[in-house]
Amino acid sequence: MGRGTTVAFHSYKGGTGKTTLISNLAALYAASGSRVCLLDFDLYAPSLMSYFKKIPTAYVNDLLNGEVDISRILVDVSAELELKGKLLLGFSSNKKEDVNAIEIKHELKWQLTAMRRFLSAKNQLFEQYGIEHLFLDTSPGIRYWSINALAAADNLFLVMKDSDMDIEGTMRMINDIYDSLVKFGSKFFVVLNKVPGASPIIENRFGADDTASIADFEKQIKSRVVGSIPCFCDVQFSKHEFLWAVKQPEHPFSKKLIEVAEAIRNL
């Protein structure tokens, strides 16, 4: 089996729906028969554990601190989700002391050591577990650990909304971070999320046939848009918006995500 690919999802700020998208995409890949691992690399505000309603015996934090190996943090949800392939999850701790430790104790020396431990674990995932697709859900904004995680990825996906704040912030990140990462071989793309237009009374400038607007937007941000997902209120305001792509595959949101999954496969 060939070496797997590493995909990181990032955003300028929180609230873009990044975790929902990456969770659904990882599940879609596993549902199609792929061997997938999804790791919560948002050490500052982890949410993957709440999304999947799991309490692990060890966390990504423990792996990065050198206290456990990769086998201790992985949670296999393939059977309960009735997936054709494999979906392994790794969660970050949401305990106050662990989140605070990221800001207080984790100086440059720790960051470098933690990165080496992650790269070793990544090799294990590919070589021992046969993982084909490794997904990383990163912290939004410009944080040192997020930049490290992005640098470890083959493809980077910026999740953003079509708002002036998101566009301006994303442009700054592209200039400050992404242009440098590209020089080291990484590729980055954009996924537009929560775009107005699911309701017929709201204008959507990124409609299915609006290729001109997409092309203009791509020139503005200097990157390719691999998907434009409308804002569906029943998804966004659901009490627990859990894996619609595999639980409700006929929903328009799910169909859009399937299109994005195919676009990513074909990059």
pLDDT at 92: 96
Residue 16: CATH number of its domain: 3.40.50.300
* Residue 166 maps to a domain: yes
* Residue 189 maps to a domain: yes
CB 138 within 8 A of CB 12: no
pLDDT at position 162 over 90: no
* Residue 182 maps to a domain: yes
pLDDT band at 198 (very low <50, low <70, confident <90, very high): low
What distance lies between CA 100 and its chain's CA centroid?
23
Total number of domains constituting the chain: 1
* Residue 267 maps to a domain: no
Containing structural domain, residue 31 = 5-260
What average pLDDT score do residues 226-231 get? 90
Residue 117 neighbours by CB under 8 Å, 6+ apart: 63, 64, 66
Please tell me whether the overall predicted TM-score, pTM, comes out greater than 0.75 for this model: yes
pLDDT at 209: 47
CA distances from 139 to 112, 204, 245, 262 (A): 17, 28, 23, 25
* Residue 243 maps to a domain: yes
* Residue 62 maps to a domain: yes
Q: How many CA atoms lie within 13 A of 205 on its CB side?
A: 10
pLDDT at 73: 98
For residue 152, the tally of other CB atoms under 10 A from its CB is 17
DSSP state of 206: T
Mean pLDDT of the chain: 87
* Residue 137 maps to a domain: yes
pLDDT at position 210 over 70: no
Condensed to tens digits (0 to 9), the pLDDT of residues 85-144 reads 999 999 999 988 888 777 666 677 888 898 999 999 999 999 999 999 999 999 998 877
Lowest mean pLDDT across 64-73, 98-107, 170-179, 216-225: 98-107
* Residue 266 maps to a domain: no
Lowest mean pLDDT across 191-195, 204-208, 227-231: 204-208
pLDDT band at 1 (very low <50, low <70, confident <90, very high): very low
